Structure 1
Amino acid sequence: MNRFLLMASLVLLGGVAPFIPQVALAQTPTASPTLLEESVAQNSAQRINALLRRGRELVEANDCAGAIATYREAAALDPDNARIFSAIGFCYAREENFAEAVDAYQRAIALDDRNANFHYALGFSLANAGDYGAAATAYRRATELDTDNVEAFLGLGVVLTRQSDYDGALRAYQRVISLRPNNTQVYEFMGAVYIQQGRFQEAADILKRASDLAPRRGSIQVNLGVALLSLGNVNDGLLALKRAAELEPRNVQIHLQVGNILRSQGNVDRALEYYQQAIAADASSVQAHELMGELLLEQQDYLRAIVTYRRVVELAPDNPNGHYHLGLALQGRQRNQEAIAALETARNLYQQQGNSEGVDTVEAVLREL
């Protein structure tokens, strides 16, 4: 499939973020061998309870670092409490530190293997860490323990899609439909799978259903546009893409996706318009400037490409690709000394990254100059 159409059909990872765990408060023992031991146990339980309450307050205040430290202090006092480790995992996941989140959820599962929510949260963290195989295993375990867990089935479908197991993904999504027939997300995800399979009519049909359920969601309109264009329905496809951008005018990714699709259709002028809209939505988006610069270079519009790539290297001075393409644009205007300076910067950055292929590419251009 054309890489721009495929880009537009991708879906986000993992369904819904893990819940905030309700950590049970420690129970004060009702009996102890001696009064001294009973007093120690009571003090420990009171300390744990205070830490758990404080940890939840910090989570609600979005102070994840403070919450993690507090929960770890509670875990030291109560190392067999699985929900404390689940709470730690949630905080790490919220901070997008998925490696640490995985470790915490695995510790929770080691203490309580029958909790479906722990397995779901582990799957979510593994998926976002890029370990799709392990994520699928965790999501499947969550669905075995809770056969009505919609979020786990959605997450399973997403990671199976990433592994190109489209039939498995569709089975997971069909289960969601049986549980929640009006779940918009599942129809959108199924549409993306059908697009990747080249089943464009089925994609269009199910995405229209998604659009009926959520008429103001731009991402649905993007995928619907892809399906319709792939069926040769250019007018309706372009209308869907236009509607996507109108629905979410500040969504940079939607503008870029629409631009990429139009570019793949050979509609260069319209593609540039959407790249410009993406930049207008977020002037600091390196990706938006890079895509626009790439298209300008293809069209040999070197002057505008120079302006665009100067902005790229300003935003990302350590990105060798920006300096390399700036050099090409300057070369196109026969500003050779400036081109050499930009290309040498690109070569140095490629060398620092250990990218020998990038170094060879730059040196080939330098030899021409």
Structure 2
Amino acid sequence: MQAASLLLMGMTGSAIALPLPAIATPVIMAQAQPNNPRLNELLRRGRELVDAGSVGEAIAIYEEAATLAPNNARIFSGIGFLQARAGNHRAAVTAFERAVQLEANNAAFHYGLGFSRANLDDNAGAAQAYRRATELDGNNVQAFLGLGIVLSRQGDFEGAVSAYRQVATRQPNNAQIQEALGAAYLQQERYPEAVTALQQAARLAPRDADVQLNLAIALLNSGNQTEGLAAMERAAALEPRNGQIYLKMGDIFRAQGNVDRALAAYQRAIGLQPNLTAAHEAMGELLLEREDYLRAIVTYRALVALVPQDADAHFQLGVALQGRNRDEEAVAAYQEARDLYEQQGNTGGVDRTRDALRELSPNRLRPGD
């Protein structure tokens, strides 16, 4: 049963949203400069553009203001916030680093730096900045949350739990924190504690399907089949048109060894989202394991139509066709897989397809194969 604990690992760090740095109007205004009317005009105009949602124009205005006041940390922090809001995280890092250089003891600046580094996958740098923010402001809940997320990404789940607990003591009714805490416990296979945290998250956010799925995993790994399956059913009821939910349900059933229910869940996922390649892949693998070659052929043909450059899909299609004694079609699928493996530099894949072709049709091998 413990295999189920690995199913939603991708959710435990990245699915919890990193909160965007907040910026107060006085920060973006910076201080008025009585002897610098041009700077004051730029700050006023920049604030108007921010209020109007014209982020790109506001950035340009504040960058001009920064040339007039190169030692004004608040202007640089404002630029960093706006760049982060626009998704320009590398530029945001540059701006926040300058703000921190000018005003080293400002927790908000360190938080913004951590946020932007995290969005560039610089998790170690982000952790350093978030940690400094928490040192400067022990009540900065968002900094503790961000720290927990990036520590989870680095595999430091004990550190993540510690960070989340800091928040949970301050905000016990924060559903997002309880979900993050429960997910971190899942990663450590601390299932009873995961159940407690996720049940609290479910009480606080009863319509969150992801919480129900993680709760299902915690319950199933705790040996509570009845409540675990009920949590999965609640997740599906909450988002009946979400193929991703059924994909995750299929993964859970598969980890339990319940192939029939896994296949049904994958089929439902595909019915809802025909382009969901992961569901096609998982379903095809199970069908091949069952030697249900006809359905596997249908599944893999759909998959290669979605991702024609997927060499593995072509190879598996060949296996399914060979299982139905459709040798000519199997050879064509193997040859396509071999060509793609060669283009991708996958020598193991090339060798595997050569072996399959040699077994199936030695005359179809190319010179040197």
Distance change (3 Å), C-alpha of 1:299 and 1:145: same
Post-superposition offset of 1:265: 0.6
Post-superposition offset of 1:260: 0.5
Write the distance in 1 (CA, Å) between the matches of 2:32 and 2:346.
60
Would you say the 8 A contact 2:291–2:323 is kept in 1? yes
| Aligned counterpart, 2:45 | 50
Distance change (3 Å), C-alpha of 1:95 and 1:328: farther
1:198 aligns with 2:193: no
Please identify, of 137-146 and 64-73, the stretch whose mean Cα deviation from structure 2 is larger: 64-73
Which residue identity is paired with 1:249?
P
| Aligned counterpart, 1:360 | 351
Would you say the 8 A contact 1:256–1:278 is kept in 2? yes
Unaligned residue ranges in structure 2 (runs of 5+):
361-369
Please identify, of 139-148 and 99-108, the stretch whose mean Cα deviation from structure 2 is larger: 99-108
Show the 5 A alignment for 1:200-279: 200-279=191-270
Which residue identity is paired with 2:21?
F
Structure 1 residues 208-264: Cα deviation after superposition (integer angstroms, max 9, x where no partner): 222222222111211221122112221221111111111122333322221101101
| Aligned counterpart, 1:328 | 319
Show the 5 A alignment for 1:68-79: 72=63, 75=66, 79=70
| Aligned counterpart, 2:29 | 25
Which residue identity is paired with 1:349?
L
TM-score by length of 2: 0.83
Distance change (3 Å), C-alpha of 1:143 and 1:52: same
Show the 5 A alignment for 1:77-226: 79-90=70-81, 93-94=84-85, 98-226=89-217
Post-superposition offset of 1:79: 4.6
Distance change (3 Å), C-alpha of 1:20 and 1:180: closer
Would you say the 8 A contact 2:21–2:115 is kept in 1? no
Post-superposition offset of 1:24: 2.7
| Aligned counterpart, 1:316 | 307
Write the distance in 2 (CA, Å) between the matches of 1:94 and 1:317.
36
| Aligned counterpart, 1:38 | none
Which residue identity is paired with 2:300?
Y
Would you say the 8 A contact 1:8–1:261 is kept in 2? no
Unaligned residue ranges in structure 1 (runs of 5+):
32-40
Which residue identity is paired with 1:50?
R
Post-superposition offset of 1:140: 0.4
Write the distance in 1 (CA, Å) between the matches of 2:333 and 2:79.
46
Distance change (3 Å), C-alpha of 1:230 and 1:359: same
Post-superposition offset of 1:183: 1.0
Which residue identity is paired with 2:49?
R
Post-superposition offset of 1:153: 0.9
Distance change (3 Å), C-alpha of 1:188 and 1:43: closer
RMSD: 2.9
Post-superposition offset of 1:151: 1.4
Write the distance in 2 (CA, Å) between the matches of 1:66 and 1:345.
50
1:342 aligns with 2:333: yes
Write the distance in 2 (CA, Å) between the matches of 1:354 and 1:91.
42
| Aligned counterpart, 2:8 | 8
| Aligned counterpart, 1:37 | none
Distance change (3 Å), C-alpha of 1:80 and 1:292: farther
Would you say the 8 A contact 2:39–2:65 is kept in 1? no
Please identify, of 76-85 and 127-136, the stretch whose mean Cα deviation from structure 2 is larger: 76-85
Write the distance in 2 (CA, Å) between the matches of 1:143 and 1:131.
18
Tell me the percent identity. 51
Distance change (3 Å), C-alpha of 1:323 and 1:68: farther
TM-score by length of 1: 0.83
- Of 266, 269, 280, which residue of structure 2 is paired with 1:289? 280
Which residue identity is paired with 1:6?
L
Write the distance in 1 (CA, Å) between the matches of 2:28 and 2:86.
23
Write the distance in 1 (CA, Å) between the matches of 2:61 and 2:302.
44
Write the distance in 1 (CA, Å) between the matches of 2:338 and 2:7.
29
Structure 1 residues 65-121: Cα deviation after superposition (integer angstroms, max 9, x where no partner): 666556555555655454555455445545655445434433443343333233223
Which residue identity is paired with 1:255?
Y
Structure 1 residues 149-187: Cα deviation after superposition (integer angstroms, max 9, x where no partner): 111111212222333323322221221112111111222
Write the distance in 2 (CA, Å) between the matches of 1:187 and 1:354.
44
Post-superposition offset of 1:362: 3.0
Distance change (3 Å), C-alpha of 1:128 and 1:233: same
Post-superposition offset of 1:191: 1.7
Distance change (3 Å), C-alpha of 1:361 and 1:202: same
Post-superposition offset of 1:294: 2.2
Secondary structure of 2:197's counterpart equals: helix
